[in-house]
């Protein structure tokens, strides 16, 4: 399991014998919609984060990637690059994103192995 920061969850997972890594995620935030600096940091941080995930997926012989939120996109990109199936579990309501969701939705469809829209 990959988590974005160390904390009690990491300790609990490791206590149960679950391999756990802490890696900086690539997160879509509303701030991206209005801040040039945030966009630049996002774009330049993406390749490094995806490389780290790809390396981990290869080293650990991962069979399936599950992204547990719709705003973290690194797993989807890394899974595609590794030729692995990707499942996306959305916990957010993207109606607040307006037109941005219309741009993001095709990306989600492309980087998900199967789409079951409710």
Residue 102 in contact with residue 77, Cβ under 8 Å? Answer: no
Eight-state DSSP code of residue 68: S
For 4-59, how does the pLDDT look when each residue is reduced to its tens digit (9 = 90+)?
889 999 999 999 999 999 988 777 666 555 667 667 777 777 888 899 999 999 99
Statement: residue 3 has pLDDT above 60: yes
Tell me, yes or no, if the pTM score tops 0.85. Answer: no
Q: Taking the domains of the chain in order of start, what are their residue ranges?
A: 2-110
Helix-, strand-, coil-residue percentages of the chain, each rounded to 5: 50, 10, 40
For 80-106, how does the pLDDT look when each residue is reduced to its tens digit (9 = 90+)?
999 999 998 877 777 677 777 777 788
Taking residues 60-78, what's their average pLDDT?
89
Q: In CATH, what number does 2-110 get? A: 3.40.50
Residue 113: how many CB atoms within 10 A of its CB?
Answer: 14
Q: What residues pair up with 2 in beta bridges, in sequence order?
A: 21
Judged by DSSP in three states, 16 sits in coil
């Amino acid at each position: 399991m990959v988590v974005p920061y160390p904390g009690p969850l990491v300790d609990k997972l490791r206590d149960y014998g679950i391999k756990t890594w802490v890696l900086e995620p690539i997160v879509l935030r509303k701030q991206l919609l209005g801040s040039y600096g945030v966009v630049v940091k996002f774009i330049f941080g993406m390749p490094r984060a995806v490389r780290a995930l790809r390396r981990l997926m290869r080293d650990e012989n991962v069979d399936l990637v599950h992204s547990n939120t719709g705003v973290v996109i690194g797993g989807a990109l890394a899974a595609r690059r590794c030729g692995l199936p990707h499942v996306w579990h959305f916990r957010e309501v993207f109606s607040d994103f307006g037109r941005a969701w219309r741009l993001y939705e095709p990306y989600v469809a492309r980087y998900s192995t199967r789409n079951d829209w409710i």
